[in-house]
């Protein structure tokens, strides 16, 4: 009786062996399909030098995911031919197989999007990141796959499942509000070319000042110059302002806008001896000669106009100033400097005097945007200008420090001692 119970003539045994054979066949089909796709089709794609969309389709990882669809499809099509399998079991297996097919198709699409991102970063414009679009596509695929899988398992139409989600739309909007706002912001950022990987940006509100290293659907990663990494929600870049230094980097020049604070007490007219001495400075020799000749002509005209006495009054005579000559020297020095961009704005101007001195502003551009080179050029310029100020009889303004106050106090003490001694001597009774 036990042997008869295990006989293949029994309906349940035939169903069990038939289902087992179907599963084994599905496993073998997967191995064969995977072997054909990864060893044959993928090699043909590599040999043909596939690029673009064909490179994505013929990628080995994508083909492995495609091979996973075959066994589930086989089970879905062949389960009805298993003998003596109850209709309820057939329906359940078909529904599960259908859901698995949807899952494997979704996984294949996920991998295709990942490979497309990799191919774009490797062969395309790496600065124009498509990561946000890839992640949004994966999100859409995931939502669609979940809806269709639920419909397959429940043996219902996907539209019926979607109608059920309609009541949850408010909750879904609340859950995915940042994702929706970030995707909309990403479209505007990409459409207006506002941000690329590698751009130097400043976002003071987020404490970001560095290079963009990743643009994703929900976040933008910025590596600050101190090597810390700041993560900024993508939608915040549209709701708040930020500074992008790409324009400076692409222009080929970086601006220098810095002032020298000149001590107002050191500004004076140049004497004839000082004019003659500065006339030997190569950079401004022509300038000094031209101005000196103009001064001589002006003085001669004043003598004829005002007479000998009034014409020789200093206030009635045209004279050169040391700060004006120094300003001409700075301009000539910048024009001759190989580190300054010759085709960009270059000027030296006087700003409104302040209690800290008279500001002399340099406005120019270096011929490089590299940070280290820029700082070197800027430092060399101001090193030279600060050192050459005494040649023009000028001093840089500097607030008194501790040493200055001690020197001043020491001088007062010395003078005070002398005065006190004189007073004491005067007050002493005479014998």
pLDDT, average across residues 243-268: 92
Residue by residue, what is the 3-state secondary structure of 391-412? HHCCCECCCCCHHHHHHHHHHH
Q: Residue 110 sits in which domain range?
A: 2-127
Q: What whole-number distance in Å separates Cα of residue 387 and Cα of residue 379?
A: 12
Residue 348 belongs to some domain of the structure? yes
Strand ordering across the sheet containing 347-350: 254-262, 358-366, 347-350
pLDDT, average across residues 319-342: 94
Q: What is the pairing mode between strands 200-203 and 243-244?
A: antiparallel
Written as six digits, the tokens of 99 are 């859901």
Residue 421 belongs to some domain of the structure? no
Residue 199 belongs to some domain of the structure? no
Helix (H, G, I), strand (E, B) or coil at 366: strand
Cβ atoms within 10 Å of 171's Cβ, excluding its own:
10
Q: What is the pLDDT of residues 72-100, one digit of tens each?
A: 898 888 888 888 788 888 888 888 988 89
CB burial of 401-411 (b: ≥16 within 10 Å; e: otherwise) equals eeeeeeeeeee
Residue 153 belongs to some domain of the structure? no
pLDDT, average across residues 11-30: 83
DSSP 227: S
Q: What whole-number distance in Å separates Cα of residue 127 and Cα of residue 92?
A: 49
Residue 328 belongs to some domain of the structure? yes
Q: What is the pTM of this model?
A: 0.61
Indicate if the pLDDT at residue 337 is higher than 90: yes
pLDDT, average across residues 387-392: 95
Task: Please identify, among 127, 142, 165, the residue that sits at the C-terminal boundary of a domain.
Answer: 127
Give the model's confidence band at 431: pLDDT under 50 very low, under 70 low, under 90 confident, else very high: very low
Residue 324 belongs to some domain of the structure? yes
pLDDT, average across residues 17-45: 82
Residue 208 pairs in a beta bridge with 203
**Cα 292–Cα 297–Cα 301 angle in degrees, nearest 5:** 145
Give the model's confidence band at 430: pLDDT under 50 very low, under 70 low, under 90 confident, else very high: very low
Task: Please identify, among 106, 127, 148, the residue that sits at the C-terminal boundary of a domain.
Answer: 127
Number of domains, the chain: 2
């Amino acid at each position: 009786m036990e042997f008869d119970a295990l006989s293949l003539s029994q309906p349940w045994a035939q169903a069990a062996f038939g289902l087992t054979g179907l599963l084994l066949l599905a496993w073998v089909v997967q191995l064969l399909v995977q072997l054909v796709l990864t060893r044959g089709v993928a090699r043909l794609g590599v040999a043909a030098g596939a690029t673009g969309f064909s490179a994505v389709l013929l990628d080995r990882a994508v083909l492995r995911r495609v091979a996973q669809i075959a066994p589930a499809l086989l089970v879905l099509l062949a389960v009805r031919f298993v003998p003596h399998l109850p209709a309820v079991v057939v329906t359940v297996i078909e529904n599960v197989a259908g859901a698995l097919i949807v899952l494997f198709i979704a996984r294949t699409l996920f991998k295709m999007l990942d490979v497309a991102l990799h191919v774009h970063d490797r062969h395309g414009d790496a600065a124009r990141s498509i990561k946000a679009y890839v992640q949004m596509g994966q999100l859409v695929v995931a939502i669609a796959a979940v809806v269709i899988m639920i419909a397959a398992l429940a043996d219902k139409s996907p539209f019926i499942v979607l109608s059920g989600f309609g009541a949850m739309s408010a909750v879904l909007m609340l859950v995915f509000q940042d994702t929706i706002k970030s995707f909309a912001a990403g479209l505007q950022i990409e459409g207006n070319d506002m941000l690329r990987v590698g751009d130097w940006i400043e976002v003071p509100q987020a404490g970001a000042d560095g290079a963009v290293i990743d643009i994703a659907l929900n976040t933008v990663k910025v590596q600050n110059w101190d090597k810390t990494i700041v993560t900024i929600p993508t939608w915040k870049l549209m709701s708040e302002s930020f500074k992008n230094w790409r324009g400076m980097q692409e222009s080929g020049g970086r601006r220098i806008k810095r002032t020298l604070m000149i001590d107002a007490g050191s500004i004076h007219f140049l004497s004839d001896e000082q004019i003659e001495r500065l006339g030997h400075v190569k950079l401004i020799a022509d300038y000094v000669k031209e101005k000196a000749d103009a001064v001589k002509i002006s003085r001669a005209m004043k003598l004829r106009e005002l007479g000998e006495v009034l014409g020789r009054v200093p206030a009635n005579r045209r004279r050169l100033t040391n700060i004006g000559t120094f300003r001409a020297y700075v301009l000539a020095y910048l024009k001759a400097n190989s580190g300054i961009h010759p085709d960009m704005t270059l000027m030296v101007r006087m700003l409104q005097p302040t209690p800290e001195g008279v500001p002399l502003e340099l406005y120019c551009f270096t011929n490089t945007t590299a940070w280290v080179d820029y700082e070197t050029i800027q430092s060399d310029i101001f090193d030279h200008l600060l050192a050459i100020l005494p040649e023009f009889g000028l001093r840089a303004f500097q607030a008194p420090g501790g040493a200055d106050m001690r020197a001043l106090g020491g001088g007062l003490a010395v003078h005070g001692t002398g005065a006190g001694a004189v007073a004491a001597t005067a007050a002493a009774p005479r014998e």
